[in-house]
Chain A
Amino acid sequence: MTDSALSQLLGLAIGTALVCAYVVLWRSRLISIVRAIAVQGAAVAVVALTLGLHEHSVEPVAAAVGVFALKAVIIPMLLARWIRQSEELREVDPLINIPASLLAGGLLTLFVYATARQVANLGSDSASRAVPAAIAIVMLGLLVMTIRRKAVTQVAGFLLLENGIALVAFLTTSGLPLLIELGGALDLLLVVLVLHVLAGRMVSAFGATDLNQLQELRD
């Protein structure tokens, strides 16, 4: 696995991940958001795989398989089933309209590139140069959660955040010790499950999963 092939493949995977983040920010149909999350999960798995093969160690490869199973298959299926149950297909009117949120996403990415330079130039190889992109995905995830009204979109934003952090983990350290990776993945799965159960209760209590209704508990 030559260096140039590695950096091209990494660039491609990181590029797709970043594009998926923008798709989530852009689309208002929930189904396409879920599909974008699935694609991004796959991209993270590809990054893990390439790094594993490049460093000839088994751990990242195993992690890649786990990530693919969890973030490209299981969780998107869960989200799709969730959307079908709640029959809410479209994100109605988010807090900030679509063009403005895309603009904000762009500015955010520039900002992250400007400030997160020092992480990039610590590691010399091509992987760590892509870290600012991963941090950008984290920030975009947080932006989606802050703007969108629907419960599903907020969970999608959370998943963007998690994928971003996973990317940072793989790019900087080609995978944390397996025990931590496993713990993290299990926690992520449980969080999504919990949110799914809570969304079910929210539908029964509030009739819809519009987060703006959640303003009764205030000071």
Chain B
Amino acid sequence: MSAGTWGLAFAAAAGGIGTIAALVTVGPTRRWLVGILSGLSAAAGGATAILVLVGHGPVTVHLPQILPLAGVELNLDALGAVFVLAVAIVALPASIYGIGYTAHGLNRRSVQAMYPLFIVSLLLVPAAASVSTLLLLWEAMALTSLVLVAAEHRDRSEVREAAWWYGSMSHLSMIAILMALVVFAGHAPGETFEALRMSGRHLSSSTRSFVFVLSLVGFGTKAGVVPLHVWLPRAHPEAPSHVSALMSGAMVNLGIYGVLRVTWDLLGGGPIWWGITVLFVGVTSALFGILHALVARDLKRLLAYSTSENMGLILVAVGAAGIYSSSGNPMLAGVAITAALLHIVNHAAFKGLLFLGAGSVVAATGTRDLDRMGGLLARMPVTGAAFAVGSLAIMALPPFNGFVSEWLLLKSLVQGLPASSVAISVTMPIAVGAVALTGGLAAAAFAKAFGTGFLARPRSPQVEAAAEVGGTMQTGMVSLAVACLGLGLAPFALLDVLRRAGAALPSLWGGEPVRSVGVTLHTGGLTGSLSPLFIGGGLILLVVLIPVVLRLLGVAGRRRVAENWGSGRSLQTARMEYTATSFAEPLQRVFDDVLRPEFDLAVTHTAESRYYVEAVRYRVGIVDGFETHVYRPLIRVAKRWGEMSRWVQNGSIHRYLAYLFVALLIVLLVSQ
């Protein structure tokens, strides 16, 4: 048994023991045991991933007697290892965070038992190496996360609604993947990925496109790409925060993993329209996601939509890689794939951090509504600082890790290709424009999230009374914040490892796409270099230097607290502040026809005369466009189909006998 196999076995065992511990023990011991064992499982998984990434070679496990009629095949190669690493980065801090977080009424047996299993299934999905194993682990992940999403079903009716949406869409994802892979396996000698890889290129082009489209639908649903994203802003906010951190930080990546594995590894790449489709889906997801994040009032719903956006950005990189590889530039495809993989790891870090931060806020204040928050930075300094780091990271600002992957993403799209095909020379600029707009709106959305959520004065009594959260939750958040800064300043360590993961996709790799000379990253194709260490380090140095210089110039240190300028009025209340809705109102007005918000304005006049207004009630609701125009009609049609089909079973015995009669006639006819 190689070290890697021991690692995976230990991860699974730790998760299993965690579940048993959850079922057996009670009270604080349960919380601690589950937290520590899940953390251990995540750490073991992460260690195995690092082992594989540094060149230890793939970890293969073959268990024929498990899963009847199929057998379990596991094979963790470099590509899968990146995703396991992303899971580990989120799962370890989230588990520690969970110890404190589940103290607030979530310490029930069903919830705590499912959490370790959810982490184990997340760790094992990238290692699956046969169709049945992938489907088994995919459904196990869906089941465990469904139970976790429905953890607080007693308190809120939205949770029950979210559980149903989540359960149905996960099964849609599983059925689509099943259809794609089963048809693929039908044309291959066996059902293991090895067999599929061998026959991948010899399939007829119609079958290859069928498998591509369906696997994109299946894995895209789990990644929350736009037409299939409807469950994400419902399920993630309703789940307990350390679970939503895991779902947003780790689970959605596995959708991207699926697309990469099936389309560019097993099928071995395809025509250019595949890349363009993935790119187009990525662009729409990014723009749609960030627009809805911008106008969201619910903090966790904002984070969920931003997950959709980040997955869109990753798919843009993957699509670009597909386009480059099918138009004969494997080296440029390498740059794009490195950008995608780096952004996956970075996104896992900062999205996990943001959800944990949101979780602390919800635990401390009991509300998720940004309009009622405010002033939390003073009351919850550690959570505030961590959330600030997360926000700056997701806005792709130096010195944090988002900046590096956004830079690499833009560099992969900006290629001075001679106009080999009109498609490239038109799609690339559109992609750059969309990514840039998304970047700008992301800055606006998270300036709103951090600004209106944490700064200024509290706008409701329960936020006023908020207090900092417990030690374990703080350690969870701070560790992720340090990870964001570390990845931001020194990504070259990760880039050497990502090269081996990229090479695992031969159809998307060539030459030396991203070299790291010392601390500077040099990209192939359209050359450009960046050394995050110098830029980040320089910034931090300058920020420290400036007050010193001011002190030298004789500036006094002490500050006097003075009243804000209210253009003459002395009384300043919290109601005068800019809330999340007002902060995003200009941008919402700019993108009015995309978001199509519902306004209603109720003005009640005083009884005496129409010219004096007693009260004005203004309500604006942003409804997800796809949900109202695609999913609601679909559900109505299904309900009508259900009603109409009751005609078949209307209770009359004569109709039932008539079925038999007609069947007998058909049999007589057919048996000529």
Spell out A's residues near B (CB within 8 Å).
95, 111-112, 115-116, 118, 139, 142-143, 145-147, 154, 211-212, 214-219
Q: When the two chains form their complex, are residues B653 and A214 in contact, meaning their CB atoms are under 8 A apart?
A: yes
Q: When the two chains form their complex, are residues B649 and A212 in contact, meaning their CB atoms are under 8 A apart?
A: no
Q: When the two chains form their complex, are residues B668 and A142 in contact, meaning their CB atoms are under 8 A apart?
A: no
B662 to chain A, nearest CB (A): 10
Contacts of B649 in A (CB 8 A): 218-219
B36 to chain A, nearest CB (A): 52
Whether, in the assembled complex, B617 has its beta carbon less than 8 Å from a beta carbon of chain A, the answer is no
Whether, in the assembled complex, B661 has its beta carbon less than 8 Å from a beta carbon of chain A, the answer is yes
Q: When the two chains form their complex, are residues A214 and B660 in contact, meaning their CB atoms are under 8 A apart?
A: no
Q: When the two chains form their complex, are residues B658 and A214 in contact, meaning their CB atoms are under 8 A apart?
A: no
A152 to chain B, nearest CB (A): 14
Q: When the two chains form their complex, are residues A111 and B665 in contact, meaning their CB atoms are under 8 A apart?
A: yes
Spell out B's residues near A (CB within 8 Å).
646, 648-654, 657-658, 660-661, 664-665, 668-669, 671-672
User: In the complex the two chains form, what is the Cα distance from A153 to B660 in whole Å?
Assistant: 18
Contacts of A111 in B (CB 8 A): 665, 668
> Can you list 6 A-B pairs with a CB-CB distance of less than 8 A?
A115-B672, A142-B657, A145-B657, A146-B657, A147-B654, A215-B650
Q: When the two chains form their complex, are residues A143 and B650 in contact, meaning their CB atoms are under 8 A apart?
A: no
A127 to chain B, nearest CB (A): 21
B643 to chain A, nearest CB (A): 10
B601 to chain A, nearest CB (A): 46
A110 to chain B, nearest CB (A): 12
A142-B664, A214-B651 given; 19 more Cβ-contact pairs under 8 Å: A111-B665, A111-B668, A112-B668, A115-B669, A115-B672, A118-B671, A139-B664, A142-B660, A145-B657, A146-B658, A146-B661, A211-B654, A212-B654, A215-B651, A216-B651, A218-B649, A218-B651, A219-B646, A219-B650
Q: When the two chains form their complex, are residues B661 and A142 in contact, meaning their CB atoms are under 8 A apart?
A: yes
Q: When the two chains form their complex, are residues B651 and A211 in contact, meaning their CB atoms are under 8 A apart?
A: no
User: In the complex the two chains form, what is the Cα distance from A211 to B672 in whole Å?
Assistant: 36
Q: When the two chains form their complex, are residues B646 and A218 in contact, meaning their CB atoms are under 8 A apart?
A: yes
Contacts of A116 in B (CB 8 A): 668
Contacts of B672 in A (CB 8 A): 115, 118
Secondary structure type dominating chain A contacts = helix
Closest-by-CB residue of B relative to A215 is B651
List 9 A-B pairs, minimum CB-CB distance, nearest first.
A218-B651, A215-B651, A219-B649, A115-B668, A219-B646, A146-B657, A142-B661, A146-B658, A218-B650
Contacts of B650 in A (CB 8 A): 215, 218-219
B302 to chain A, nearest CB (A): 44
B165 to chain A, nearest CB (A): 26
Contacts of B648 in A (CB 8 A): 219
Q: When the two chains form their complex, are residues B658 and A217 in contact, meaning their CB atoms are under 8 A apart?
A: no
Contacts of B664 in A (CB 8 A): 139, 142
User: In the complex the two chains form, what is the Cα distance from A214 to B652 in whole Å?
Assistant: 7
* Of the residues A118, A139, A142, A211, contact of B653 by C-beta under 8 Å: A211
Contacts of A143 in B (CB 8 A): 661
A144 to chain B, nearest CB (A): 10
User: In the complex the two chains form, what is the Cα distance from A112 to B654 in whole Å?
Assistant: 22
Contacts of A214 in B (CB 8 A): 651-653
User: In the complex the two chains form, what is the Cα distance from A214 to B651 in whole Å?
Assistant: 7
User: In the complex the two chains form, what is the Cα distance from A218 to B651 in whole Å?
Assistant: 5
Contacts of B658 in A (CB 8 A): 146
User: In the complex the two chains form, what is the Cα distance from A115 to B648 in whole Å?
Assistant: 28
User: In the complex the two chains form, what is the Cα distance from A217 to B653 in whole Å?
Assistant: 10
User: In the complex the two chains form, what is the Cα distance from A112 to B664 in whole Å?
Assistant: 11
Closest-by-CB residue of B relative to A211 is B653
Contacts of A146 in B (CB 8 A): 654, 657-658, 661
A191 to chain B, nearest CB (A): 15
Q: When the two chains form their complex, are residues A217 and B651 in contact, meaning their CB atoms are under 8 A apart?
A: yes
User: In the complex the two chains form, what is the Cα distance from A216 to B651 in whole Å?
Assistant: 7
User: In the complex the two chains form, what is the Cα distance from A95 to B653 in whole Å?
Assistant: 12
Contacts of A212 in B (CB 8 A): 652, 654
Closest-by-CB residue of B relative to A108 is B665
User: In the complex the two chains form, what is the Cα distance from A112 to B668 in whole Å?
Assistant: 8
User: In the complex the two chains form, what is the Cα distance from A203 to B654 in whole Å?
Assistant: 19
User: In the complex the two chains form, what is the Cα distance from A111 to B668 in whole Å?
Assistant: 9
Q: When the two chains form their complex, are residues A215 and B652 in contact, meaning their CB atoms are under 8 A apart?
A: yes
B660 to chain A, nearest CB (A): 7
